[in-house]
Homo-oligomer: A and B are copies of this chain.
């Protein structure tokens, strides 16, 4: 199996207060903006203040990855596979973070909850749906 690379054109980028690394817990309470390419603005119709969205963005500072690591770079944490962690150093450094919409104006979505560094390319925005995105029996029967 030798899968073909897949190429995506970002729909926009994040403008945030964080030019470099900061802990997620520090970033998420702060406001930030998702600035779409103007031609993408029509795709925002129906997104409302207060609504939660799932934002997929590229971790553009993540240039390497480890398949096994101590989570949080803390040697006290047992070694895990990268797919069992939310490390930013992943084979495909795509983040998936819930954010809450403060307002939508033209091609700009004002949010809280994002943990994206300034300039992060945004790949997709999806509405959060509890029925779809919460673990339930519909996710599948127990093993």
Contacts and interface: CB of A to CB of B under 8 A. Distances in A.
A121 B138 CA distance: 23
Given A6-B8, A124-B91, A100 B140 contact: yes
A138 B103 CA distance: 18
A126 B44 CA distance: 27
Interface in A1-35: 1, 3-13, 24-25, 28-29, 31, 35
Given A43-B68, A140-B99, A8 B92 contact: yes
A128 B111 CA distance: 22
Contact of A50 (B4, B134, B143): B143
Interface in A83-125: 83-86, 90-92, 94, 96-103, 111-113, 121, 123-125
Interface residues of A, number: 77
A143 B81 contact: no
- State the copy count for this chain: 2
Contact of A143 (B29, B42, B49): B49
Contact of A86 (B52, B84, B92, B132): B132
B141 A112 contact: yes
Closest 8 CB pairs of A and B: A112-B140, A46-B84, A45-B81, A113-B139, A113-B140, A46-B80, A3-B10, A43-B81
Interface of A: 1, 3-13, 24-25, 28-29, 31, 35, 37, 40, 42-47, 49-50, 52-54, 56, 58, 67-68, 78-86, 90-92, 94, 96-103, 111-113, 121, 123-129, 132-135, 138-143
